[in-house]
Amino acid sequence: MDFYQNGIITTLHNLVDRPIEDMEADLLKYSKTRPLGLILPSLYSELQTPALAKIVEELKSVPYLEEIVVGLDRANEAEYRHALEYFSVLPQNVKVIWNDGPRMKAIHKKLVDEGIAPEAPGKGRNVWYMIGYVLGSDKVESVALHDCDIITYERSLLARLIYPVANPQFNYAFAKGFYTRIANQTMNGRVTRLLVTPLIRALQKTAGEQNERADEYLSHIDSYRYPLAGEFAFRTGVISDLRIPSDWGLEIGVLSEMKRNISSNRICQVDIADIYDHKHQDLSADDAQKGLSKMSIDIAKAFYRKLAAEGVTFTTEGFRTLKATYYRIALDLIESYRNDAIMNGLELDVHKEEIAVEMFCENIIKAGQHFLEAPMETPFIPSWNRVSSAFPEILKEITEAVEADMQEYQP
């Protein structure tokens, strides 16, 4: 039985497989005084997948949600109409944000012209607009976020994810999901296992020993069981001041922001699934603009930017030392993972693991070069507090645009 607490953030375990109906009865009761919502970032292409069909089927039975907000990317008018029809089977109050529609595009252009919105589309920008909608509609007090590509989705995942920020007896303002990444008799989660964990520990050795605040930050991130999980839940009071990255550094960036904005006793991580599988990214070792290669560069840059803000000085020589330290730690971890896999009857291809580590080594340097060449780059999207300061009516404009789109194009 796993009830271990590491002392930095609370870990909420799945100790007894409590029936989902019990948890949902609690959540239904809590939702009467603390309304609950869900935000789903989705590409239109995901509407063609069995994963999203299963998620929608599961959500039909969820009794406690006041509002579901879908952020729809890469959709033309016909596809938006289809999306409205697709999600209309849900019994909850569902809003679909058409990010590529003329109304949202006009709002986006206004913010870009003022320099306070990310120009490039992507999950970060989509999540940002959904947060803006949630703040503008002001219907929920706690909101969960998860992806639309979870192949193994069950509604218990959502119940466990939102429970810590729904229960009024708890003090948590932020909950991060974690789970075991096992599928097809092998270990997944390569970027967490082979990049994030060894990189954090290498940074602790190279930067943390000289800088107490940097070491405290790295220890905080290392205490998350699965820092790259895309599943979060928030009290809405903490999201108006959230500055999120617009690139693959989104998950690490959110953890960094929570560490900066709220105290550790208001943060928890929660076990949300026994098994979890989703759409996998290719390694893309030959193209630094795609797949896990691009992801690893963005994640490394997210760490460098945060540590620079804590007073760490980076140099070309320092990045070479970091790479060597990372490489040694990563190879030692592969040995640990291999032994864990063998004992559990799982397969682990050590050759493929080492190829991934070698690519991550190169990308630690590439990210370092990019950081040194463009230290003033601001990949963070401004918080809604800042945007509302420039345009006081902006949240109202977003909610009105979404309502108008849905009324005009509803099948």
**Is residue 38 within a helix (H) or strand (E), and if so which, with residue range?**
strand 36-43
Cα 103–Cα 105–Cα 108 angle in degrees, nearest 5: 115
- Are the beta carbons of 176 and 252 closer than 8 angstroms? no
Question: What is the DSSP code (8-state) at residue 304?
Answer: H
What number of residues does the chain have?
A: 411
**Exposed / middle / buried, residue 15 (Cβ in 10 Å: 0-12, 13-18, 19+):** exposed
Q: What share of the chain is helix, strand, coil (3-state, %, to 5)?
A: 55, 15, 35
d(CA 96, CA 115): 26
Cα distance between residue 17 and residue 14, in whole Å = 6
Q: Are 234 and 174 in contact (CB under 8 A)?
A: yes
Per-residue pLDDT of the chain (411 residues; tens, 9 = 90+): 578 897 799 999 999 989 999 999 999 999 999 999 999 999 999 999 999 999 999 999 999 999 999 999 999 999 999 999 999 999 999 999 999 999 999 999 999 999 999 888 889 999 999 999 999 999 999 999 999 999 999 999 999 999 999 999 999 999 999 998 777 788 988 999 999 999 999 999 999 888 999 999 999 999 999 999 999 999 999 999 999 887 778 899 999 999 999 999 999 999 999 888 877 666 666 666 668 888 999 999 999 999 998 999 999 999 999 999 999 999 999 999 999 999 999 999 999 999 999 999 999 999 999 999 987 776 689 999 999 999 999 999 999 999 999 999 987
- Could you tell me if 86 and 78 are in contact, meaning their C-beta atoms sit under 8 angstroms apart? no
Cα three-residue angle 104-110-114, rounded to 5 degrees: 140
Angle between helices 155-166 and 50-59 in degrees, nearest 10: 50
The Cα–Cα gap between 112 and 114 comes to: 5
CA angle 372, 375, 377 (to 5 degrees): 130
Nearest alpha-carbon partner for 306 in 210, 158, 178, 203: 203
- Do the beta carbons of residue 381 and residue 125 sit within 8 Å? yes
Three-state secondary structure readout of 122-152: CHHHHHHHHHHHHHHHCCCCEEEECCCCECC
pTM summary value: 0.94
> In this structure, what token pair is assigned to residue 268?
């928890």
